[in-house]
């Protein structure tokens, strides 16, 4: 497993939120703490975030964005086409990055092996070094607190930053509403 940032997405009934910290590390040194690792795609109708090698992630973003345009914003068709392309391309199979993509209908994790995973609950997904901390916090907050999706993402990433040395408390997020 590579050491990377933390990205968390939460999809509710009427909105979807993705957030991530901005830490960039090189080995055991922090190079930067305020990078932006989340994006709005397809005219702001799809949110995406990455963990892993920055250069690899930009290649993945570009390729996914092209497919999303080709599929006219259909997220389900796009992740399937993306997975097929990822698995067929020898260069892409070597990339060390993962992505979360979400809209108000779907949420998916795109793994470094070309896998497409829809979370079991269809609501919460996390990747990166602090992903397990963030998803645990998000599940607990979603279950036991009366918080909206933005607050769940922020608080969960903050908790992850307190536990994971590869996650900072410089948190950014984007929201989509139906």
Indicate which residues carry an active-site annotation. 5
Spatial contact of 100 and 60, defined as CB atoms under 8 Å apart = no
Quick check: 17 and 141 in contact, CB under 8 A? no
């Amino acid at each position: 497993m590579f050491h990377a940032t933390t990205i968390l997405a939460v999809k509710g009934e009427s909105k979807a939120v993705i957030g991530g910290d901005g830490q960039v590390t090189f080995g055991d040194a922090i190079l930067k703490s305020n990078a932006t690792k989340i994006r709005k795609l397809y005219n702001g109708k799809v949110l995406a975030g990455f963990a892993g090698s920055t250069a690899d992630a930009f290649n993945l973003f570009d390729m996914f964005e092209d497919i999303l345009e080709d599929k006219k914003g259909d997220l389900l068709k796009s992740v399937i086409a993306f997975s097929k392309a990822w698995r067929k391309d020898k260069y892409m199979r070597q990339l060390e990055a993962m992505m979360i993509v979400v809209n108000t209908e779907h949420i998916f994790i795109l793994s470094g092996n070309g896998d497409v995973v829809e979370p079991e609950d269809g609501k919460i997904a996390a990747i990166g070094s602090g992903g397990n901390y963030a998803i645990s916090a998000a599940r607990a907050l979603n279950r036991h607190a009366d918080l909206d999706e933005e607050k769940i993402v922020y608080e969960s990433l903050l908790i992850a930053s307190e536990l994971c040395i590869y996650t900072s408390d410089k948190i950014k997020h984007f929201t989509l509403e139906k």
